[in-house]
Amino acid sequence: MSERTLIKGAIVLTQDPALGELPEADILIDGDTIAAVGPNLDAGDAKVIDATGDIVIPGFVDTHRHTWETSIRTSAPDFALITYFGSILDKFAPLYRPEDVLAANRWGALDCLNAGITTLVDWSHIMNTPAHADAAIQGLQDSGIRSVFAFGFPNTSLQVWWFGLDWGGSVERIDGDLARRIRSQLSDDRGLITMGLATRGPNFCKPDVVQYEWELAKELGINVTVHVAMDRFGYTKGQVKGLKDMGLLYPNTTYIHSSHLTDDEWLMVRDSGGNVSLSPQIELQMGHGWAPAQKADQLGIPVGLSSDVATTASTDQFTQMHAILSSERGRRHQAAWDEDLDGNEPTPDLITSRDALRWATIDGAKVAGIADYTGSITPGKKADLVIIDGSAVNVAPIIDPVAAVVCAADISNVDTVFVDGRIVKQGGKLVAALDGPRRDILASRDHLLSKFGDPEPGWLPVAARARA
C-alpha cells in the first residue's frame, strides 16, 4: 500500500480554475499523487499534517536557470548583460570541471527546494564534455527535484560558440550523438527528470546550425528553449522572424526574455503555440529590457518566471513575483500618466497579485511542458506542494491569502515542500544532509576563483583576489 498523507485545514490556492481558492480545505496525498482536495476529507490511516491557518500552493516552477553558475553565486552583482557575456561565459565557463557542474547543480537544486521551487528548467549550456553533461544530470538527481534538463552546448569560447570566428554566427553544432544518448536515459516524459534542448538560434549561429538543432529537437521529441530579443544588440534582433523564415516556429518553444520582440513577432509566438520565460529581476538589473508579461498574457501566451543567473540576483520566485508585479504595474502607471488620464482615476489594465502567482505556478508548468501532471493542486496530478507558514510575523494576519504569498512571504516562510509526494523540506529545514554538498560547492568556488585571475582591477572581492 502506498503511503498516504493528509494536509488538514489549510487555505488552499489550487491554481485550478475549477477548484479555485479554498479558505479551509484538506489535501489527501496517495503516494506521489494528489488523491483528493476539499473540506473534511476522510483521512483513514493517513499521516496527518495540521496546516490550520497555513497556505498551501502548488510548487513554484523556475522556467530558466543556468544552474551551473551556482558555484559563482553573487560574483557579478553589478554586471550588465554584455559584461556577463565577456566574463562569466568567456572566462569562467571554460574553467569548469565536471565536478564543478555536479556541485553547482546539486547545490542550486537544493536552493530551489528550500525556496519552494519544485520544478526547475536547468538551461545547461556547460556541455564542455560528455562528463559535464553527466555531472549536470547527476546533480539534479541527487537533489530529488523535478526538473527539465535543457541540454545545451559548450561554453569553451565565447566567439566560437556564440558569434563565430567571422562574427557572422557560430558554425559549431550541439553534440547530436550526446543528445541522443541522454535522451535514451531521460526517455520517460513524465519522469522526475525530463529533457529539453537549449539552443542559441538565429544570428548567433549560421542558418544550417539553427536548422540542424531545431530538427534534432524534433527528432528527439523534445521542446526547444531559446534566448531572444534581449538588450537590443544586433544578435538578438529579429530572431523569431528568422525562425519563421526558416519554417522553424515549432509549437511549445520557449522564448526567453523577449524584451524587444516586434508586434509581428509577438503574433508569431502566439500563432505558433509558443510561450515565454521572463526573468524580471535580471532583465531590469542587467539591461535586457522590460519583462513583458502583460503583453504576453493579453495575447494568451503562457508566461513563466525564472531566476536566470545566480551570479547577479536572488534565485527564488518571491523575488520574481515582486519584480514582475512592480515593474509591469509601474510601466502601466507611467503610460497612464503619459496619456494624460485624469489623475483622480485609477490606472486601468493593471496586472494583479493573482496574475503573478499564476505565472509562478501553473503557467510556469505550461512553459516547462509539464502542466498536464503538475502545476496545480488538482486530483490526479503529482503531489508537488508547498506549505507557507501563515503564523509567521511577516505573513500574519492573513486577509487576502494570495497577497500574503505574493506580497508578504519569503523563503523563510516555506515550511514544508513535497516533490512527487515526498517531503523534501519540513519544519523550515531541508531533509537532505547539507554538509557534503556545501563542502563541494565551496571547493568548487575556490577552484574557479583561483583559476580566473582578476581581469578588471577591483572586480573580484578582496578575499577572492587574495585566494587567486
Using DSSP's 3-state secondary structure scheme, residue 205 falls into strand
pLDDT band at 448 (very low <50, low <70, confident <90, very high): very high
Place of cell 536515459: 185
Mean pLDDT, range 90-117, rounded to an integer: 97
Q: Please check the confidence at residue 374 and state whether its pLDDT lies above 50.
A: yes
Q: Predicted confidence band at 344 (pLDDT cuts at 50, 70, 90)? A: confident
The whole-chain average pLDDT of the chain stands at 94
In the structure, how many helices (H) and strands (E) does the chain have? 16, 17
Q: What is the model's pLDDT at position 342?
A: 65
Element (H, E) at 361: none
Averaged pLDDT, 314-326: 98
Residue, of 215 and 344, whose pLDDT is higher:
215
How would you class 18 by CB atoms within 10 Å of its CB: exposed for 0-12, middle for 13-18, buried for 19 or more? exposed
Where are the chain's structural domains? 4-58+376-430, 60-359
- Name the DSSP letter for residue 172: P
CA of residue 90 relative to chain centroid, distance = 23
Q: What confidence score (pLDDT) does residue 241 get? A: 98
φ and ψ at residue 117, rounded to 5 degrees? -90, 115
Q: Which of 274, 280, 273 is nearest to 257 (CA)?
A: 280
Asked if residue 353 lies in contact with residue 403, where contact means CB atoms within 8 angstroms, the answer is yes
Check pLDDT > 50 for residue 459.
no
What confidence score (pLDDT) does residue 454 get?
Answer: 53
> Between 3.40.120.10, 3.40.228.10, 3.40.50.80, 3.20.20.140, what CATH number should domain 60-359 receive?
3.20.20.140
427 CB neighbour count, 10 Å cutoff: 9
Mean pLDDT of all residues in 170-180: 98
Average pLDDT of the segment spanning 259-271: 98
Q: What is the pTM of this model?
A: 0.95
Residue 371: which of 59, 27, 134 has the closest Cα? Answer: 59
> For the domain bounded by 4-58+376-430, which CATH number is listed?
2.30.40.10
pLDDT band at 41 (very low <50, low <70, confident <90, very high): very high
| 8 A C-beta contact, residue 321 and residue 352 | no
Closest by CA position to 387, among listed 100, 121, 46, 50 = 50
Band (315; pLDDT cuts 50, 70, 90): very high
DSSP string computed for 208-244: HHHHHHHHHHHHHT--EEEEES-TT-GGGTTHHHHHH
Residue type, 334: Q
One fold for 4-58+376-430 and 60-359: no
Residue 140 and residue 135: Cα distance in Å, rounded?
9
In whole angstroms, give the CA distance from residue 268 to residue 257. Answer: 16
Note whether 235 and 163 are within 8 A (CB).
Answer: yes
Kindly state the helix (H) or strand (E) to which residue 299 belongs, with its residue range: none
Res 460 pLDDT > 70: no
The reported pLDDT for the residue numbered 6 is: 98
- Model pLDDT, residue 105: 98
In this prediction, what percent of the chain has a pLDDT beyond 90? 90
In terms of C-beta density within 10 A (0-12 exposed, 13-18 middle, 19 or more buried), how is residue 308 classed?
Answer: buried
- Bridge partners (DSSP) listed for residue 388: 55, 414
Strand partners, 4: 30
Mean pLDDT of the 281-306 span: 97
Specify the pLDDT at position 134.
98
